[in-house]
Structure formats: structure tokens, C-alpha cells
Amino acid sequence: MFLRTLVRAGVTLLLAASISITHAVSVTVVEDNLDSPKVEHVRIQSDAHNATGIRYVTNSGICETTPNVAQISGYIDIGTNMSMWFWFFESRNTPETAPFTLWLNGGPGCSSMIGLFQENGPCFVNADANSTTLNPYSWNNVSNMIYIDQPIETGFSHGDDEANSTQSAAPFVWTAFQVLFENKLFSKYASREFIFASESYGGHYVPGFVTYFEQQNALIASGKIHGVPISVSALMINNGWFDPLIHYVSYLNYTTNAPGYGQLRPDDVLKNISNGLYGPDGCVAQEKACYAAGNSAESNKICRHADKYCIENVYWLAVDDYDPYDIRQNSSAPFPPEYYVDYLNKKDVMAKIGAEVPYDECPTKPYHKFIKTGDEARTWLPQLSALADSKMKILIWAGDADLNCNWLGSQATILAMDWYGNKTLHDTPLTNMTIDGTTVAAVQNVDNFSFALVYKAGHEVPAFQPKASLEIFSQIIRKEQLHSV
């Protein structure tokens, strides 16, 4: 399998812990019970949407153990037999005013528990797979954080999964926030700054979902539909997969000379990669045909075939025995460790957090649904450009040691954006960003748009550079341009 996010084999499946719902209550009588220290399973039926609601546990005591920092985990039911897993952490500091940040991992079809437990969440799981250590650089130090497993079937989510493309996945995520914000526990966050943060396949999800949210906002504003507007105030995507035509070419550039790491593959292989790209009916020609096919009936097949060809004739030649997510490691890549997977599959942990099915980090079913429609081969560059043109606060960033969604591809993507700041961005050099005198990144700022290349970091940037990542996140949510501190 070939995923735009970290995936490893060897997940042990346990039988689902049986979760009993201790009481069913109506939304009108539930008080904000965030201060309650005990584990209780609560079901709240939605008044506005049929067959929807949330089922959750407050303060499970798992992961976030900082005193007085609330957490909620459970399911958002977005329709009959459609249960989306979420895990919410209050900000450790000024939760009443801190922004509300959504973190999504990529895939397609990978769980956001990857980000929670390996990248920017409140804790890491220890080698015993039975205990945790607090992460001092957790992003909930400065923001309220919610992690969601989508599409359904990913991670702890379960039920009927109808999403088979970025576009078709968007309404389900939108509905999840409608249900959430209708609820008393979460309604206060509907008016907070909404930060959308993602990585990897998030290069598809974020432009796709935010574009859809804005279309829904317009329908709500004009009275055509009822709902809660979801006004994204900033978005950030690291090591994103935006425009496959650019990214497949970037594999040749990166393996020819990965800045800071040199030539990765021998000359004869580089020649083969080049042939795979530019040969007759090669990857580039097929990708162009995919773009030209648009959303026509034949496009699924054309795009699917393009992707398969490019993976086999470009991607695998580039990767060889490297860990594609961190070229400083080989394919047995020990970092970041996967202890959290066994931890999440422990029956007592599942019971405490309210999980109803065994945890599956990157299941194959949702992935193959997306592959079938050729979603991976399609571009979201036009939507990203439009968002930049709208002056939204945007950060595109990347770790320098990731091959899979390498930074040369991110850089070529932003330089190809069609937006008002294009010329200025082309004329703006990368300058070093330091923290206490140590260089952590090279950055570019044009008004509300920023780019950052993070040094000594693989695909999962916050796992490798937690301090720099928290600083960068903090500057973005404060609406600052990236700068040294």
C-alpha cells in the first residue's frame, strides 16, 4: 500500500470492548460536565438532525493528565450507522479564549490518532504500551484541539462509509461539526477562531473541505439551508499532497539532490525515474490526461491508471530502501515508534475512552475507495490558490527529510499558485528562522501566506521538531508572520 502518511504493518486486533451507555438524556438537560472527574458514558440525541448525536466520555484520565485540563472522547453519529470518532482536549492555557483547532491526518484512510500520539497531542505512549508521558510541546498548550477519524472506518470510526473521494468526504465532516456545535458541550467553540491543521493527504482534504465549508456558509447566509457557519480562520498543511503532477516530478528533483542530504539514488536509477516521468505515455503525460479528463465519467479510470503507473515507475524507484517518510532512516524506521497502537487496542483503555471497535491505524477499505475514483491523482491546487487569493491565513510547511511529500514539491506547488501574491512570493527569498539563536527553519512570508521548511524533520514534522512546531503553530494561530524568537 502507498499512503501519503505514515503507515506500518503489524497491528494486532483485539475484540471490541463492550461499551454500555449508562444513561440517555436529552440535549436540554445536560449541563456542562467538563469538571466531573468520573468516567461516564453519555448519549445526546440531536434535535436538528435525524439519527445524529454524540456519545462521549468526559475526563477519561487517558493521555492528558494535566490537572484541570478537560478532555472528551467518543463518537459523533452523523447518520444511521455512521459513527465518527473524536477526541477533544481543552487548552492547557486560557481555554476560554484559545482557538479551536481541528487536526486531521491523511492517508487517505489514516487515523488522526497518529497525530495525537506521535506528533502534537498531549502525550506519547511509552515502550511498555501501557503508560504515557506528557508532551510539553503539545499543541493544546495554546489551543483547544479536536482530532477526528475520517472517513468512517478509519481508526476508531465505524459504520457505513460512503466517502470515495475528497469531494464526497467533505459533507460528512461538515455534518460532524454541525452535530458537535449544536451540542452544549461544544457550542461555545462555534464562535472561536477555527484553525484547520493537517498533513500529507491533507493537501487534498484541506482545500477540498474548506472550499465546501465556505459554500455551505454562503447557503446558510442566504437562508437556503439551516446550519452553523464554519468559518475557517487559518489553515496549515505540512508535507502536503496537493498537485500530483508537481509531486511526481519532485521525486526526480529530490532524489537527484535532496538539499542538505545530497544525491539519494545512483545515476542509472535517476535515468529510469526520468524515463518513467517523461517517456512516451509516461507519468507526466498520464497525469496531464487525468487533469484534462476533469470530472467526466472516464476520468476515474484515467486518473486511477495514471496514479498506478506513477507509483510503480517513479515512486518506488525513488524510495528503494529509504524510509520514504524520513530519508535519514532505512525502511525498518524505528522512529516515531508505534507503541500507541497496542495501547489503544487494550480493552481497559478502550473502555475508558469509549471506543467501540478495535483500532485500525490505516485500514485498506477506505483507502481503496479513494484509489478507485483516482482521487490521489487529481489536483487541489486551484482551490488552494483561491484560498490564498482570499487572504486567508495559510501556512504550507514541510520537513526537509521527507521524500514521500517532499518540500521541493511543496515549494513548487506554492510557486505555481495563481493568486494576487504570486510575483511577491517569487521575489521573496527564504530566510532562516531561529529559536534562541538556533536555526530551526527557513521561511517566506507574503501578507497572510507563509511557507516554512523545517530542518532535520521527516514527514511527521512535530514528532521530529516538537519545539519548533509548537512555536510555528503558536505564531500562525496568533496571526503573525513567521519570525525568529
Ligand X SMILES: *[C@@H]1O[C@H](CO)[C@@H](O)[C@H](O)[C@H]1NC(C)=O
* Residues forming the site for ligand X (CB under 6 A): 50-51, 81, 92-93, 130, 136-137, 141, 158-160, 162, 164, 168, 246, 249-250, 253, 268-269, 272, 300, 317, 330, 332, 372-373, 391, 393, 408-409, 412, 418, 422-423, 426, 432, 439, 447-448, 470, 479
Q: Which amino acid is at 370?
A: F
Name the residue among 452, 471, 477 with its Cα closest to residue 199: 452
Q: Which is nearer to ligand X, 158 or 177 (CB)?
A: 158
Grid coordinates belonging to 278: 517523461
Minimum distance of ligand X from residue 248's CB (angstroms): 8
Q: How far apart are the first and last CA of the chain?
A: 41
Answer yes or no: are the C-beta atoms of 84 and 153 closer than 8 Å.
no
- Cβ partners under 8 Å of residue 457, min gap 6: 399, 400, 401, 402, 464, 465, 468
Residue 477, SS3 per DSSP: helix
Residue 200: active-site member: yes
Q: Which is nearer to ligand X, 31 or 200 (CB)?
A: 200
Answer yes or no: are the C-beta atoms of 358 and 345 closer than 8 Å.
yes
Q: How many CB atoms lie within 10 A of CB 257?
A: 12
Ranges of H-type helices in 188-243: 202-221
Q: Which is nearer to ligand X, 74 or 79 (CB)?
A: 79
List 158, 204, 247, 459, catalytic entry: 459
Name the residue among 154, 121, 168, 212 with its Cα closest to residue 3: 154
Q: Which is nearer to ligand X, 154 or 198 (CB)?
A: 154
Answer yes or no: are the C-beta atoms of 247 and 405 closer than 8 Å.
yes
Cα–Cα distances in angstroms (integers) from residue 398 to residues 326, 341, 405, 453, in the given order = 12, 25, 8, 5
Minimum distance of ligand X from residue 205's CB (angstroms): 17
Minimum distance of ligand X from residue 132's CB (angstroms): 10
The distance of Cα 48 from the centroid of its chain, to the nearest Å, equals 28
Minimum distance of ligand X from residue 105's CB (angstroms): 20
Report DSSP letters for 306-373, one per residue: HHHHHIIIIIHHHHTTEETTEEEEETT--SS--HHHHHHTSHHHHHHHT--S--BSS-HHHHHHHHHT
Q: Which is nearer to ligand X, 118 or 373 (CB)?
A: 373
The pair phi, psi for residue 419, each rounded to 5°, is -155, 170
Q: Which is nearer to ligand X, 16 or 269 (CB)?
A: 269
Residue 402: active-site member: yes
List 204, 402, 450, 469, catalytic entry: 402
Q: Which is nearer to ligand X, 33 or 275 (CB)?
A: 275
Answer yes or no: are the C-beta atoms of 176 and 84 closer than 8 Å.
yes
List 200, 385, 410, 469, catalytic entry: 200
Minimum distance of ligand X from residue 33's CB (angstroms): 22
Q: What is d(CA 25, CA 319) in angstroms, rounded to the nearest whole number?
A: 53
Minimum distance of ligand X from residue 107's CB (angstroms): 17
Residue 143: active-site member: no
Q: Looking at the annotation, which residues are catalytic?
A: 200, 402, 459
